[in-house]
Structure 1
Amino acid sequence: MKYNFQIKLMAVRHYLDGRDGYKLTARQYQVPASSLRAWTAAYRLHGQAALLAKTSITYPAHFRAHVADVVLREQLSMRTAAARFNISDYKTVGRWVQEATKATAPAKKERKHMAQKAQKPAKQPEEMTPAELLEEVRYLRAERAYHEKLDALMKAKAEQKKKSTPSGH
């Protein structure tokens, strides 16, 4: 459900004035507590402009990639990233991160090929041709990037679960 600017602003200011916690403020203004949290985070970073209705924005590919990179590198929750970059829906950030990790993960056929290759007795680097060395470097880089992204995603998911547990506000 969409809420107008005035409702968002009044609810955020009410919460920030310290009168009530998230749950009571949300109940009073008849908005979801999760929305109030998101509006408050965005308001703290971007002021009133963050509460204005955003018409359908198409974000450029380089911006989406940058946001996904920051999320993975800094292990941000999707909500925190949405607030930081003033993106109205945290699920949008989640889709961008998912797209970025799919783009860096090797394709299924490549994975199968790489797994078979890893089982072969490895040649010593001195015995390898330049082409074989390049292939191994590419494989190792892809494998490292995949594991780093996977670790970052798992940490972000754990962080998101930790943040979504009721905190009494």
Structure 2
Amino acid sequence: MSKYSARLKSRVVQDYLSGERGGYGEVGRQHGVGQGTVRKWVAAWRAHGEAAFKKKYSFYDGPFKLKVLQFMHTKALSCRETAAIFDIRNPSAINVWKRRYDSGGMQALEPRPRGRSVKQPKSSAPAVSSKSDEARTKEELLKELNYLRMENAYLKKLDALIRSESPTAQRKKRK
């Protein structure tokens, strides 16, 4: 989300294009934005007009990304120029697409799921069998017994460690 409004962007571009207020730097100072930002807004305005400052959807599918990369390659354009032509907000995204395509081909350009991945908890516990205890073999029962003993010992040691550290932590705070 841009921190600048579309109205401000249009006003800055109009001030620059009128030529009465100076170059990129001077117009930027008058409006409190950087010279590079003014240059980017003017380029976007020249390529797309008023639509350049409207909110855009930032999801690009694999075939679109490939089309952008091929266009950039055949016309020998920079990422910034290509982004202005295709109305892509973040020119550095094109570099990311290029690296992915070079390393993984078309599959690497396909969109990946967003958000955190759901990870299954890794449990070293033996799988709980749906068999009753009577139906399980002696080996299965001994394996489970051994696991439960180890778990119990671990929890006892953890509890002892927590109890031994809490009085020392309190004494350190009092000093």
The TM-score normalised by the length of structure 2 is 0.54
The residue number in structure 2 matching 1:33 is 35
* Amino acid aligned to 2:69: A
* Closer, same or farther: CA 101–73 of 1 in aligned 2, 3 Å: farther
Where does residue 84 of structure 1 map in the other structure? 85
Partner secondary structure for residue 19 of structure 2: coil
Aligned residues: 103
Q: Distance in 1 between matches of 2:45 and 2:96?
A: 23
Question: RCO (CA 8 Å, sep 6+): is it higher in 1 or 2?
Answer: 1
The alignment yields a C-alpha RMSD, in angstroms, of 1.6
Q: Partner of 2:46 in structure 1?
A: 44
1:72 aligns with 2:70: no
**2:167 aligned residue:** none
Deviation at 1:72, TM superposition (A): 1.8
Aligned-partner SS, 1:59: coil
Look up the match of 1:5: 6
Q: What's the counterpart of residue 53 of structure 1?
A: 55
The residue aligned with 1:110 is none
Q: Which has the larger radius of gyration?
A: 2
How far the C-alpha of 1:26 sits from its partner, in A, is 1.1
- What's the counterpart of residue 99 of structure 2? 98
Identity %: 32
Partner of 1:17: 18
Q: Is the 8 A contact 1:4 1:53 kept in 2?
A: no
Give how far 1:98 is off: 2.2
Distance 2:80 2:12 in 1: 18
Higher helix proportion (structure 1 or 2): 1
Letter in 1 for 2:35: A
Task: Please list every run of 5 or more consecutive structure 2 residues that lacks an aligned counterpart in the other structure.
Answer: 106-175
**Aligned equivalents of 1:94 and 1:28: distance in 2?**
33
Shift of 1:2: 2.0
Amino acid at match of 1:85: F
Q: Displacement, 1:75?
A: 1.4
Contact 1:15 1:25 in 2 (8 A): yes
Do 1:71 and 1:97's aligned partners in 2 also have CA atoms closer than 8 Å?
no
Find the aligned partners of 1:36 and 1:2 in 2 and give their Cα distance. 14
